[in-house]
Amino acid sequence: MKLYCLSGHPTLPCNVLKFKSTTIMLDCGLDMTSALNFLPLPLVQSPRLSKLPGWVLKDGNTFLDKELKDCSGHVFVDSVPEFCLPETELLDLSTVDVILISNYHCMMALPYITECTGFTGTVYATEPTVQIGRLLMEELVNSIERVPKAQSASLWKNKEVQRLLPAPLKDAVEVSTWRRCYTMPEVNSALSKIQLVGYSQKIELFGAVQVTPLSSGYALGSSNWIIQSHYEKVSYVSGSSLLTTHPQPMDQASLKNSDVLILTGLTQIPTANPDGMVGEFCNNLAMTVRSGGNVLVPCYPSGVIYDLLECLYQYIDSAGLSNVPFYFISPVANSSLEFSQIFAEWLCHNKQTKVYLPEPPFPHAELIQTNKLKHYPSIHGDFSNDFKQPCVVFTGHPSLRFGDVVHFMELWGKSSLNTIIFTEPDFSYLDALAPYQPLAMKCVYCPIDTRLNFIQVSKLLKEVQPLHVVCPEQYTQPPPTQSHRTDLMIDCQPPPMSYRRAEVLTLPFKRRYEKIEIMPELADSLVPLEIKPGISLATVSAMLHTKDNKHVLQLPPKPAQPPASKKRKRVSDDLPECKPLKPLLSGAIPVDQFVQALEKHGFSDVKVEDTAKGHIVLLQEAETLIQIEEDSTHIICDNDETLRVKLRDLVLKFLQKF
């Protein structure tokens, strides 16, 4: 059993598990942090960004000045943003049989895998994962395609050239694998390969293994997966949460008794407690709006935003913010808000019960009804007519490199009254802000990551007790910036196996058993013999029939009849002939009684020696040695076949045959 690790990002995993005869890809996350190295894509012509000076090497060489721009003391690539794909060279991805998706954030690389590698298998995911994943992809494609950029930079990627660049470009990894964003047709084609599944549904893969999605409590439709055969169980835990937010709670019980538990997608900010961060978010939002400033919240169109809107729904009246408009701007804003209300079966119990009242499960419906929350596909069109300040704007993309957020950064960045509040933990907020410096607007970092923290992991592992834990190497040591926090790492016994990008792990357990069925007729013919109380044995002569990874023992073919005629043998006659079997022996030889028997049969000079493994019976006169061990008996005599047979028969008298 092997695990191929294709991604180095612990929360955007992409691993391939080879188990029995199947090749299963677990998630295909897309590392978008590479986009931070690119200049933002402004929706409206930005004089500042269009007049940036080209970057010149120390020796005055200007050959890169078209590709790289100097912006606020940092160097950025002036091109369409590119993303870091999972490893494609480690194994032939066309051999992948199935892809299991755990949540909508972990499927963003799907079109690259299904459309560019010769993949012919099936993708399994829950319905909300697919629908919201589609929204995220649509938003991504839309944000990038609406600002066409002819230029594609590639010179800087040359290894020799990259060495000369300043950090962080110099240290960017795997730049050769960075790719431009996919297109909508590719998205549609990729999504068409997905087969929808429900929680606890058992899916057979070629009869060899069974896969089952379980609720992971992190997002709408998010799942952990169990991959099991008759005698082995592998759990894949990715992006799980034990907090009571909107999704169905995590199913922990089904993860018990795993041989291997692959653990990915823990919280990215283990020191920030989501509750505290939500409070912080509300505090800063209220403070800014009260002093007449605007609040910008760069976010994804689904996920935490639902919880934030719910908190604000409860908070705005008490904070006297009832008259402040909330704007949600995204090409998929409307669909996201509406989808969230229809996936009742995927929601937590409280929200599910609301549906039967009937009431919308999320209170943002009421915010929309009362005109407190308005949503627009983009800043163009209706939004510009309705726009009132001070206000709160939720919009993408959290990297601040594309999407409507770029416009608001240009618009509001110069005033210290405004505040940008980062809630998504995927990007370093300092790096995200780099091309906008100097920035007057206040900046608040309230990352809200509801995924498991290390305390919760430790409780989970105690509860489910897997034999082995496999996790990204980042989880096996404290964060580099807080090396004294030994509580911020996985602590379990035996210590977890860690992996890094482009590594192949041989998982530490061997398959020992396989289930074989016996046909009833064959079972009828067996005559078990009780060896010990409660243990019966029977010899089986049968034919093993294997099809679709299922094994069946069938009745053996009848012994070959002497040919009645000289006709050609029929096909069935080709079956191997079965020789009559010698009986099997069992039992132990009682040495004292055996010696007595020998003496009775005329061997007078019997001598017994004890050895480490048993006994040696020495017949001195006959120069013969009988070596009796637990599982074998040897008679060593000098070419005296009669004597050997005599002794053999004596030995056999003491053993049972069946």
Partner 1 sequence: MDRECARLLPPVCAVLANTRQLISDDTCLEKLLDWFKVLTEAESSLLLLQENPCLTELITCVLKLEDPSTTIVSFILRLTGIFAASESCFQHLQQGEFLSSLFGEEGPINSSLWEDASVRSGWVEGVRSMVRHQSAIQFLCSSGAIDVIFTLQGDPSLFVASAVSRLLVHILTFSLQSETTSPLSTKDCSWPMCARMIITHIEESLKSSSVSHIKQALKLLTSVFGCCHDRWTEVLWSWIAEPIESLLKEEPGQTGHSLVDLFLSMARSPVFGCPECSLWTSVTHALKYLNPAQAGPLALGVLKCQECPQAVRIQALNVLLQPMDCVLRSASQPLECPGLLGESVKDSAVVENLLSSKPSCAGLLCQTLAHLEELLCMTSLPVEVPHIPLLQSVMITLQFCNGLATPVSCLGSRMSRILIGCFRVQRSALDLLGALSQCASDVAFKESVFDTLLKYLEGPDSSPTVLKKSFQATFKWILCLCDPPSFSNHWQQTEQVLQRLFLALQKRMCSPCWEVRDSALEFLTLLVKHLREWDRFRQVLFSSEVPGLTEDLLQDPESYVRASAVAAMGQLSFIIHLVPKIPALDDGSNKEEDIVTELHKILSTDSEGFPRRAVIRVFTDWLREGHVEVLKDTEQFVSRAIQAVNGDLDWEVKVSGLELAQVFSAQTLSQLGLAGCPYSAVLSSATRSTRLNESLQIFQRVKLFEFLFGALCDCDRPVAQKACEILLALKAQLYDDSLTDRLGPGGLPAEVHSLTQLETTVRRWMSQAQSNPSGDGNGARSHEPHSVLLVLGTVDLEGLRAALDKSSDHIEKSPQSLLQDILATVGTLEENEADCY
- Residues lying near partner 1 in the complex (CB under 8 A): 271-273, 276-280, 282-284, 286-287, 290-291, 311, 314-315, 317-320, 446, 482, 484-487
Shortest Cβ 410–partner 1 spacing (Å): 27
Cα pseudo-dihedral 39, 44, 48, 52, rounded to 10: 40
Shortest Cβ 287–partner 1 spacing (Å): 5
Shortest Cβ 282–partner 1 spacing (Å): 5
Contacts 24+ apart (CB under 8 A), 349-358: 349/249, 351/246
Q: Determine the Cα–Cα distance for residues 147 and 154; give it in Å rounded to an integer.
A: 19
Residue 17, strand partner residues: 3, 24
User: From the CB of residue 466, how many other CB atoms can be counted at a distance below 10 Å?
Assistant: 23
Comparing CB distances to partner 1, the nearer of 257 and 291 is 291
Among 563, 616, 624, CA closest to 594: 616
Shortest Cβ 536–partner 1 spacing (Å): 51
Shortest Cβ 485–partner 1 spacing (Å): 6
Comparing CB distances to partner 1, the nearer of 168 and 320 is 320
Cα pseudo-dihedral 399, 476, 463, 25, rounded to 10: 60
Shortest Cβ 481–partner 1 spacing (Å): 12
Comparing CB distances to partner 1, the nearer of 213 and 363 is 363
Q: Determine the Cα–Cα distance for residues 357 and 347; give it in Å rounded to an integer.
A: 15
Placement of tokens 């989501």 in the chain? 274
Among 10, 147, 13, 75, CA closest to 431: 75
Comparing CB distances to partner 1, the nearer of 130 and 444 is 444
Q: Please return the burial class of 85, using the count of CB atoms within 10 Å of its CB with bins 0-12, 13-18 and 19+.
A: buried
Q: Determine the Cα–Cα distance for residues 419 and 434; give it in Å rounded to an integer.
A: 16
Q: Determine the Cα–Cα distance for residues 103 and 107; give it in Å rounded to an integer.
A: 7
Comparing CB distances to partner 1, the nearer of 485 and 613 is 485
Q: Determine the Cα–Cα distance for residues 624 and 622; give it in Å rounded to an integer.
A: 5
- Residue partners of 646: CB distance under 8 A and separation at least 6: 601
Comparing CB distances to partner 1, the nearer of 257 and 271 is 271
Shortest Cβ 304–partner 1 spacing (Å): 15
Comparing CB distances to partner 1, the nearer of 189 and 458 is 458
Placement of tokens 């999504």 in the chain? 191
Quick check: helix, strand or coil at residue 247? strand
For residue 512, which amino acid is it?
R
Q: How far is CA 222 from CA 31, 217, 562, in A?
A: 19, 7, 66
Comparing CB distances to partner 1, the nearer of 132 and 304 is 304
Comparing CB distances to partner 1, the nearer of 188 and 271 is 271
Q: Determine the Cα–Cα distance for residues 76 and 156; give it in Å rounded to an integer.
A: 11
Phi and psi angles of residue 404, each rounded to the nearest 5 degrees, phi first: -65, -20
Comparing CB distances to partner 1, the nearer of 152 and 322 is 322
Secondary element (H or E) of residue 49: helix 47-50
Comparing CB distances to partner 1, the nearer of 49 and 282 is 282
Shortest Cβ 470–partner 1 spacing (Å): 24
- Residue partners of 356: CB distance under 8 A and separation at least 6: none
Shortest Cβ 340–partner 1 spacing (Å): 22
- Residue partners of 307: CB distance under 8 A and separation at least 6: 245, 246, 278, 448, 450
Comparing CB distances to partner 1, the nearer of 286 and 439 is 286
Contact 234, 210 (CB under 8 A): no
Residue 607, strand partner residues: 618
Comparing CB distances to partner 1, the nearer of 201 and 482 is 482
Shortest Cβ 634–partner 1 spacing (Å): 58
Shortest Cβ 276–partner 1 spacing (Å): 3
SS3 content of the chain, % helix, strand, coil (to 5): 30, 25, 45
Residue 470, strand partner residues: 262, 497
User: From the CB of residue 358, how many other CB atoms can be counted at a distance below 10 Å?
Assistant: 8
Shortest Cβ 302–partner 1 spacing (Å): 23
Shortest Cβ 490–partner 1 spacing (Å): 13
Comparing CB distances to partner 1, the nearer of 416 and 596 is 416
Comparing CB distances to partner 1, the nearer of 237 and 282 is 282
Shortest Cβ 351–partner 1 spacing (Å): 20
> Both ends of the chain: CA-CA distance in Å?
38
Secondary element (H or E) of residue 553: strand 550-554
Shortest Cβ 65–partner 1 spacing (Å): 43
Comparing CB distances to partner 1, the nearer of 281 and 343 is 281
Buried-state track 137-150, b at ≥16 Cβ within 10 A, e below 16: bbbbbbbbeeeebe
Contact 337, 393 (CB under 8 A): no
Shortest Cβ 283–partner 1 spacing (Å): 4
Contact 157, 176 (CB under 8 A): yes
Query: Would strands 209-215 and 442-445 be described as parallel, antiparallel, or unpaired?
Result: unpaired
